[in-house]
Structures are given as C-alpha cells and as structure tokens.
Structure 1
Amino acid sequence: MYDPIFWSNTIWYILLGISTIIELVVVLIKAKNYRRVIIAFYLTITGIVLVFETILLFFLKAYVYYPMILKNPPRPFDDVLAGNLFSQSSVGASALLVVVLNLKSYWFIIFGLIYGLIEELFLRLGIYRHNWYETWMTVMGIPLFFWVVKKMYIKAMQGIGPVFYYGYIFFALYTCNVITLVWGLFMLFRLQDFNTSLISDPEVSRLYGVLGHFFLLSGSVMLIYFLRLKWIWKTLVLIVLYIIYYIGYKLNIILIREGWFVLVSTIAICWTYLSVLIIDNFYSGIPDDKH
C-alpha cells in the first residue's frame, strides 16, 4: 500500500541510515585485524555526539526532526528521537571513516559542507526544523568534531591511559545502555519508562529519569568490574542496586509494566555488566603493531 508519509519523510532518514551502514562496512573492511577496537571506538564517539545532542535537543530546544518512523510511539517525542539517532549515527560513522582511512584534513571541511547541504535539503523538505539553530553551525562544528575524533583515535591506537580509558568505556556505555537498552528496548516496547511530571517540561523530566538510571547502573557496574571486587562486595553492590531500583519503582520515578520488575531490573543490570565486559575486551584487541 502506498504510504505518502513514508515517501515524503521516512525515506530520507532511511537513505541516511543506508549511507551510515555503507560507511561502517567500508571502515570494517579497512580495519582488518583490529575491527573489534573500531566497533568499540564507534560506540564511544557515537555516545559523545549523542550526549552533546541531548543538550541541544532537550535543554536548548535547538531543532526538531520529523522522520515519521514510529507510527505509535509511547510518546510523540520518541519519533523525534528516532530522527536524531539516524542523524547522529551518520555523523559518527563519517568521523570514523575519515580517521580510519587517514584522510587529509581538508576532508573535515568537505564533510562539514556535505552535512550542511543535507541539513538544508531536510529543511526544504519539511522533515526537519530549526528553532534557533542554523546550518552554518553544523558546517563549522563537523570539522571540529572530526579533529577531536582523530586525536581520540590516535590515542586509542597508541594505548589509552587509565582515566581516559574509563571515559571511552563510559561514553560507549551511553550508546549501549541509553540508546539500545533503555530507549530502544524498554521504552519503545512499553516495558519501562520514567516519570514525566517531576518538572514542568515532561520530556526533560523523562530525560532526568533516563540519565539517573544510566549513571546509577554504569557507575556501579564499572566500579564492580574495574576494581575487581571480591564476590561478597559485588553481591552487596548488586543488592543495593535492586533496592534503589525498587524504591524508584515504588515512588513512580521509574515506571515498569505490572509484573515485570524483576525481569526488567535484572536485564538492565546484566546488560550493563555484559556491555562493560565486551567493550573492555574489544578495546584490549589492539594488535601489537598498532601500539
């Protein structure tokens, strides 16, 4: 059946997603024997750009996306978030492509101009709207972001110091936890959500719940994992996590579908621990000739 909304809005975001996949495939082919590091690094830089986007989208109300991808989301703003995810995943993939292929610095500017043209196209099509933001900010911001990513990539290949290493893991967890688990699985499938009436702005109220959830789980799990705590201390931390989770649930800060508390909380904790384990393992896979 012909869907005019799909062909006027959604198709453009899908094309952006396809270009992202192509870029990632090219990068992984080029990466050869250090693909695991590249995957972990992509999660890290995507987490960084999404954190920055969180500030622009939620707090500063810079712009709005209209992908019309989610037909019946838990909240209308979830469709805006879907558009944002397509956009920022693309930016992260382009940055990764540039640094892995070791392209000259002028490519930073070329990609800035390309994303500026894409932004203007989306504006003309009415599938994206500026509030106070302007396209020149993207054109200027992309080269700066690519420069930062290149510095981070060189550092990752040469060996990351302990403090920065935890930062790389933390931002990668933002992608794995907030985007993939909390929003992509729990919230969109209506298993878990967060209170929207804690403050006057319902979407920011919801965001505070998401961020509190993320900091609690990620901080606790990274503590357990990297300090190599004895099993009795690990067990104690896990019990405290369940207690805090349950208190948040009973206070209606965390909204969980009836009868799903144990399963949802357990999946959240296990997913976070497994994410730390995998990301740490991937970052440790740098070949000797890359050190």
Structure 2
Amino acid sequence: MIYLFEYAILVLFKSYEYFPGVFKDDYFDNVLGANVSNGFIVPSVTVLIAVFDLGFWWIILITIGFFGIEELFLYLGVYRHFWWKTIYTSICLFIFFYLGKYLWRMLRYHVDRFTLRITVLYFVNITIQGTFMFYLVAIFHLFFFHVNWFDDPSRDHITLVTLYFFIDSIFFSLVVVLRTYWFWHALLIIGLACVNLFLHQLGILKVSGNWVLGLLTAFQLGELFLLMYVRKLLHNAVLP
C-alpha cells in the first residue's frame, strides 16, 4: 500500500531524493533508495510488528529509530528533503504500523471476505510488477515509457509505468479472485499484449527489440500464475 502513497509524494510531488550512487541515472538512483526503504525495510518491520503484536511503546521506539536513521541520512548527504520533513515520516510510519496490525488481524479472521482478497491481490500485483519492472529497466534498459509529462525522461517513465500497474492490477485481481474460466485469463493476457503493442506503435513504449514485447507478455502471464498461487494461500489460511 505504501507504493500508492510514494507514487503521490515522491513521483508526482517530488518530496525527497536519495543518492545511493548505484545507477548513473539520478532519478533511477533516487527510486532505488526509496524502493529499498519503502519497498523492503518499512514493510518488513510492519510485518514484524503485526505478527508479534508489538504494543504502543515498541511502535514508538521503532518510529524513533527510523527518525534517527533519516536524520543520519540527511547529515551524511545520501538523502535530502524538498518540502518533506522527518516528522512527516514519523507520523506516517506510526499510522502504517497500526494499519499493518489491523490488516494482519483482518487476514487472520476475515480472509474469506471477497473485498479483502481483492485488496490483497491488488497490492501484491502492484508491488511485484512495480519492483520487477523497475529493476528490469534500470539494469537492462529493455524498454522505456515516454509521454513528455516531465522534463526528466526517467521520471516520465516511472510516472506512466506505475500508473499502468495501478490500472492492470484491477483486472489481475478480479480475474484471479473470481476464479474465472481459462478464457478470461487468456483474454486478459492477450488484451495486455495488445495494449503493449498499441503503446509501442504510438511511440509511447520504446523497446530495445521487438522480442521485448514478448518478454513483457511472458512476465504478465507469470504474474497471473503467481497471483493464483497467492489466492490459494489465502484460501487455505486457517486460524491458529
């Protein structure tokens, strides 16, 4: 869920910037820093808090720890704020940690709810697609979205490709949760392949070779099977 939040404050409104020094492209470098922090570290800590049911003072202590780390990053010059402030991070983390505990309880006791399964699979799909596609582009430069929304072409790419995931994840989650016949699964993959081809013909999706279009379709097919497996895990979930 943090990906939606980061899309607003980081990509659209440029709240802060990381400088890990891994990629030559400054914007991809920035997204890498944000992805490690908000795509791995914060969710992992949230899961720990939820599973072990850590209380108020533990959450306060962990939040203070994140506050100190962010201030240290600012001091070391590997991170900087534009309009964002460290106190905003602390407030958001405190809310996210409690939201994580709430969602964990929902998964344990109400996993059979249709809306909950749709929500879980929707965000699972966003996370997997967003993370995988980012590294695929940042490392191998296989494809690139270009729409001239921003002066920085890399920011342009991240903005559109993330929006793409937000939209296609709706269809992925619906098809999987409704357990539709194979026809609808095939229609989804073929439809996405047609969308990719159409965007390529418009010049919005630029690829290093036509075979990349096939690779994207293969990945989306793999994503469908992965979501079906996650749905099975949710279906088999039982109370302790």
TM-score > 0.5 by shorter chain: yes
Amino acid at match of 2:128: C
1:250 paired residue number: 201
1:204 Cα deviation after fit: 4.5
2:128 paired residue number: 176
Q: Which runs of 5+ in 2 are unaligned?
A: none
Aligned partner of 1:235 among 186, 196, 199: 186
Q: Tell me, what secondary structure is at the counterpart of 2:80?
A: strand
The answer as to 2:232 corresponding to 1:281 is yes
TM-score after normalising by structure 2: 0.89
1:90 Cα deviation after fit: 1.1
Amino acid at match of 1:281: K
1:224 Cα deviation after fit: 3.0
The answer as to 2:4 corresponding to 1:80 is no
Does the 8 Å contact 1:194/1:253 carry over to 2?
A: yes
The answer as to 2:87 corresponding to 1:140 is no
Amino acid at match of 2:164: H
Does the 8 Å contact 1:218/1:272 carry over to 2?
A: no
Task: Write out aligned runs for 1:40-55 (5 A).
Answer: 48-55=1-8
CA distance in 2, matches of 1:233, 1:66: 44
Does the 8 Å contact 1:192/1:264 carry over to 2?
A: no
Task: Write out aligned runs for 1:1-291 (5 A).
Answer: 48-70=1-23, 72=24, 75-88=25-38, 89-160=40-111, 161-180=113-132, 182-200=133-151, 202-287=153-238, 289-290=239-240
Q: Tell me, what secondary structure is at the counterpart of 1:286?
A: coil
Count of aligned positions: 238
1:197 Cα deviation after fit: 1.9
Amino acid at match of 2:59: F
Does the 8 Å contact 2:16/2:80 carry over to 1?
A: yes
Output the aligned Cα RMSD.
2.1
CA distance in 1, matches of 2:129, 2:179: 22
Change (3 A) 1:117 1:247: same
Larger deviation, residues 96-105 vs 264-273: 264-273
Amino acid at match of 2:122: F
TM-score after normalising by structure 1: 0.75
CA distance in 2, matches of 1:248, 1:133: 34
Q: Which runs of 5+ in 1 are unaligned?
A: 1-47
Instruction: Give aligned-pair identity as a percent.
Output: 24
Change (3 A) 1:195 1:103: same
Does the 8 Å contact 1:99/1:149 carry over to 2?
A: yes
